Structure 1
Amino acid sequence: MQSEIEDVYRVFARYPRPVRVEGCQHCVTEDDHRDLLGAPLRELDAERLRRYSHKALNTWGDVDDLRHFLPRLLELSLRGDADLHGLFAKLRQAGWTDWPEEERASLRACLSVWWELGLTEEERAHTSWGTLTESGDDPGPYLESWWGRSTPQALWTLVELVGEVAHTTPRARDERVVAWLATTRGWMEEAFFEVSETGQAELAEALSEARQLLDLVTLDETVAGTGGTGSSESGTDGSADPR
């Protein structure tokens, strides 16, 4: 992911280091200011940026200040040294999907690589759909790249998404995500048999439970096709035929 991060540094270099980041005098101390501006951007560590990342846009700094610090914040967060979920929320608050095209493209490149790695890395993924959606980006491309993957990481993430949606009130659910989940019935069933045959008992059990939940989540959805990357047959009751 380093090349994508370097591109973010390049694109956002147009936002110079501020002389001072204005903030609420009751919330931000002089020590906070010294920590934030006490080292070059690439040398700022997570501890120096911690308070700023929580207060940015609310009581400390504006959108252009965030843009200056964003490359380092993103680098630390994607590396696991800072709060990625919180950073994505700040990006959404800053309205990044309306920023200039080059800025949006560089950020999406990082998000896409982070998402892909989370679906394919050997160790259990730390990728969270909830974290991704916190960014406010269009979910379509991420769902499209996910559909049909048989890696344990992709399947665990699918199980977790079904659980998240099932425990969300119907009115609060994203209809696009629910419609996409309706297309995963056959994929989930095939994956269940595959992981069962390879002795992945924990994942098989999780898939079985998620498949039952899926019918409740997608009760009003009759789609039994695909997320755009494959196909499955449908039985007479609208569920995928496990043949």
Structure 2
Amino acid sequence: MIAAVENLYVCFARYPTPRNLTVCEQCGPEWSAADITSTPLRSLSLAQLEALHVMSLSDDDFRYYFPRLIEALLAEKAPVFAFDLGKLRSRTLSWPAPERAAVTSLVDGLWRSLLAEYPADLGYFSDSPTLIDFTYWCDQPLQVHLNRWQMIDTVSAAEHLGELVEWAFSVREPIEPAVKDLVVNFLAQPVIGERLSAANLDDAEELWRVCGR
């Protein structure tokens, strides 16, 4: 993912350091706006981005921080609750073509890296439910990635399928409503059961047979 992140930095380099920032006193009482603006972009922490309420910034200001946000999320091992990444939805559609292409490359790289290894080492993006949501929020075609997934006959890809089956049919957190039917229809395919069986994921296969078909 190093190349995809570096590509983000290159594509969004034209945006200057925002100057008219407000730091949330509850989220970051230890920092002033001057502290954060004087910190090199690549050295900013997720906590500092949270203190800026980065997802609520103007589009140009947000795009300055976007590469660092993604880079920091990739390195974050703990669950992240402070960022409503759903606010990305429809935002990228107005970005210039090179920036949209960089987002497409990022999402594509995340999917390829995720399915190549289980468990994945992608920080916030290390599970398929999160990446499904992120793909949708980035206005990327989820079906393309699901189609590619079902063609990959590896144990790691099957392990991620098992995780998605468990999440879709036994976890209380709802699937993003806009993609729920797409995900459920994807999981209903016979090939999903075949992949789970071939990988000896008996519990996931049983859950799939009861709930997924």
Tell me the residue number matched to 2:38: 38
1:166 counterpart letter in structure 2: F
State, as a whole percentage, how many aligned pairs show the same letter: 29
1:212 to 2:207 alignment: no
SS of the equivalent of 1:14 reads coil
SS of the equivalent of 1:20 reads coil
Q: Note if contact 1:4-1:106 (Cα within 8 Å) is conserved in structure 2.
A: yes
Determine the C-alpha separation between the residues in 2 that align with 1:120 and 1:81.
19
Tell me the residue number matched to 2:181: 175
Determine the C-alpha separation between the residues in 1 that align with 2:150 and 2:34.
47
Deviates more, 1:34-43 or 1:107-116: 34-43
The two structures have a TM-score, normalised by structure 2, of 0.76
Q: Note if contact 2:23-2:32 (Cα within 8 Å) is conserved in structure 1.
A: no
Determine the C-alpha separation between the residues in 2 that align with 1:156 and 1:29.
42
Where structure 2 has 5 or more consecutive residues not aligned to the other structure, the ranges are 121-125
Q: Name which structure has the greater RCO, CA cutoff 8 Å, separation 6+.
A: 2
Highest CA radius of gyration, 1 or 2?
Answer: 1
**Structure 1 residue 84: Cα displacement:** 9.0
Tell me the residue number matched to 1:144: 147
Where structure 1 has 5 or more consecutive residues not aligned to the other structure, the ranges are 197-202, 216-243
Tell me the residue number matched to 1:218: none
Determine the C-alpha separation between the residues in 1 that align with 2:153 and 2:161.
10
Determine the C-alpha separation between the residues in 2 that align with 1:31 and 1:12.
25
Cα distance change of structure 1 residues 117 and 43 upon mapping to structure 2, 3 Å threshold: same
**Structure 1 residue 96: Cα displacement:** 1.6
**Structure 1 residue 32: Cα displacement:** 3.8
The two structures have a TM-score, normalised by structure 1, of 0.68
**Structure 1 residue 2: Cα displacement:** 1.3
Determine the C-alpha separation between the residues in 2 that align with 1:110 and 1:157.
19
**Structure 1 residue 24: Cα displacement:** 7.2
1:16 to 2:25 alignment: no
**Structure 1 residue 51: Cα displacement:** 2.0
